[in-house]
Amino acid sequence: MATLNLYSSGSIQSQFCDNLLKTLPSNFEVCLFTNSGAEANDLALQLARRYTGCDGVAVLENAFHGAVKSVIEISPAALQRQNLAIMPWVHVLPYPDTYRSPSSPSKVSESEIVDTCFHEAKSILDKARKNGAKIGCFVSETILVIQGVIVPPRNWLSKIYSYIRQIGGLVIADEIQTGMGRCGSHFWGFQSQGVIPDIITIGKPIGNGYPIAAVVTSRSIAQSIQNLHEEYLCCSVAAAVGKSVLDVLHEEKLMMNAEKMGHRLREGLHILKHRHRWIGDVRGIGMITGLEIVWCKEEKRPAPEVTEKICYRLREEHILAENGGVYGNVVIFVPPLCLSVEDVTKILDILNKIFCELEVSESEELYQLLGSQSESNESSSQEYRWQENLEGVIAGGSSYYSLD
Ligand SMILES: Cc1ncc(COP(=O)(O)O)c(C=O)c1O
């Protein structure tokens, strides 16, 4: 760090920018750097407003884009948590959750869900515009990780993007969780959705732990604020970190690994879903996976308490997952892109063990309830049988979903 900070000539910054731009379509020409994803979203908002001259921002229900004031204002999830009112210039749009949609795909097609959701969004925007709102931009993740890993159905994002542009707004893609190869099939989440935004914001993985984030956009949008380049340069240490991250992603073929290991993880989770009653849905893309935990598969009633227990037990086993989603009932896995086959097997083994424990402890609770009602003297032998059952299920478990 000392060497880079003192002696760097600036070429490391331009190498980093060039390499980053090479991963993007040609409309992305300028990189502006910040220290956090929230600051990147703040800058993206400033740019969109200045470029369009319009203040209104369209966002998705339950979205989160960071924890600085301007960005909390466009983060319904944060506003709700902090009990804050939504600003009149923020317009909150629905998104298509094909698992929870009242018209789920078992009854209607995915394209009908997309159409219904899009028309709802369009009428919210039309009503707002009739009341004088001027929409400067639409901000969203391209895979809705915060909402519980919702992979948008085909065409939904492209419909929203084109309508926003039609009414004079810009489109900002928050790629803070989804970018940098995590989607596996594509380097950026927006590419997996077949859309091209006007501005993207990049955070967390761009520095692999080092505090750096970026806004990337066209020259004309960047020029809407004067001298922006000088204010949003990155220091040479940050540039060296960012350049190395891109090099390692490329050299170690981590994007391909994200695709393969993510697929493998979800295949295993689908098998667990058939074995354990708690798993309502398994979904994701690349190395972003959501496991929706419910009390009952038919009713889909969210089970946030169970989800918290699962994440806590995973942590005890040294596996980090987040209990997120709108109801706090989605186990979200966004592991490092270098995950190995052995890691995936370990995650599946441990999850299987945890689900078996949950089933046994639930049965024990029920048994105790029944036991307290009828004074049975069989209790110790029954308890022994539950224990035996647990060990049996766990022992049979790993071979059941072995993928080799
Ligand atoms: C989708 C999304 N956008 C933005 C942010 C904010 O990034 P940072 O924590 O770097 O400010 C986060 C953080 O969790 C995020 O998940």
Q: What is the DSSP string of 53-107?
A: ---EEEEETT----SSHHHHTT-HHHHHHTT-PPPTTEEEE----TTT-SS-TTT
Supply the CATH number for residue 168's domain: 3.40.640.10
Name which of 155, 164, 151, 137 is nearest 65 in CA terms.
Answer: 137
pLDDT string in tens for the chain (404-residue length): 877 776 566 789 999 999 999 999 999 999 999 999 999 999 999 999 999 999 999 999 999 999 999 999 999 999 999 999 999 999 999 999 999 886 555 667 889 999 999 999 999 999 999 999 999 999 999 999 999 999 999 999 999 999 999 999 999 999 999 999 999 999 999 999 999 999 999 999 999 999 999 999 999 999 998 877 778 888 899 999 999 999 999 999 999 999 999 999 999 999 999 999 999 999 999 999 999 999 999 999 999 999 999 999 999 999 999 999 999 999 999 999 999 999 999 999 999 999 999 988 877 776 677 666 555 445 444 444 444 544 554 454 443 344 33
The H or E element spanning position 266 is helix 254-275
Rounded to an integer, what distance in angstroms lies between the CA atom of residue 245 and that of residue 24? Answer: 16
Q: 193 with 313, same domain?
A: no
Q: 81 with 176, same domain?
A: yes
| Residue with CA nearest ligand 1 atom 3 | 65
Q: 91 with 219, same domain?
A: yes
Answer yes or no: is the C-beta of 335 below 6 A from any ligand 1 atom: no
Q: 177 with 302, same domain?
A: no
Atom nearest to 41 CA in ligand 1: 4
Supply the CATH number for residue 358's domain: 3.90.1150.10
Q: 240 with 260, same domain?
A: no
Q: 168 with 231, same domain?
A: yes
Answer yes or no: is the C-beta of 179 below 6 A from any ligand 1 atom: no
Tell which of 251, 286, 302 closes a domain.
Answer: 251
Distance from residue 204's CA to the centre of ligand 1 (Å):
7
Q: 159 with 217, same domain?
A: yes
Distance from residue 65's CA to the centre of ligand 1 (Å):
5
The total of structural domains in the chain comes to 2
Tell which of 202, 221, 251 closes a domain.
Answer: 251
Tell which of 214, 235, 251 closes a domain.
Answer: 251
Q: How many CA atoms lie within 13 A of 128 on its CB side?
A: 23
Residue 83 CB neighbours (<10 A): 6
18 and 140 in contact (C-beta within 8 Å)? no
Distance from residue 213's CA to the centre of ligand 1 (Å):
10
Q: What local confidence, expressed as pLDDT, does residue 401 receive?
A: 40
Per-residue exposure over 261-291, b if at least 16 CB sit within 10 Å of its own CB, e if not: bbbbbbebbebbbebbebbbbbbbbbbbbbb
Q: 281 with 142, same domain?
A: no
Query: What is the three-class DSSP state of 188?
Result: coil
Regarding beta strands 288-293 and 279-285, do their DSSP bridges make them parallel or antiparallel, or are they unpaired?
antiparallel
Angle value at C-alpha 285, between 38 and 111, nearest 5 degrees: 100
Q: How many CA atoms lie within 13 A of 308 on its CB side?
A: 5
Q: 209 with 279, same domain?
A: no
Q: 244 with 348, same domain?
A: no
Tokens coding 195: 């859309």
Q: 225 with 316, same domain?
A: no
Answer yes or no: is the C-beta of 205 below 6 A from any ligand 1 atom: no
Rounded to an integer, what distance in angstroms lies between the CA atom of residue 336 and that of residue 178? Answer: 13
Distance from residue 403's CA to the centre of ligand 1 (Å):
34
Q: 317 with 236, same domain?
A: no
Answer yes or no: is the C-beta of 66 below 6 A from any ligand 1 atom: yes
147 φ, ψ (degrees, to nearest 5)? -75, 0
- Residue 353 belongs to domain spanning: 255-400
Answer yes or no: is the C-beta of 177 below 6 A from any ligand 1 atom: yes
145 and 37 in contact (C-beta within 8 Å)? no
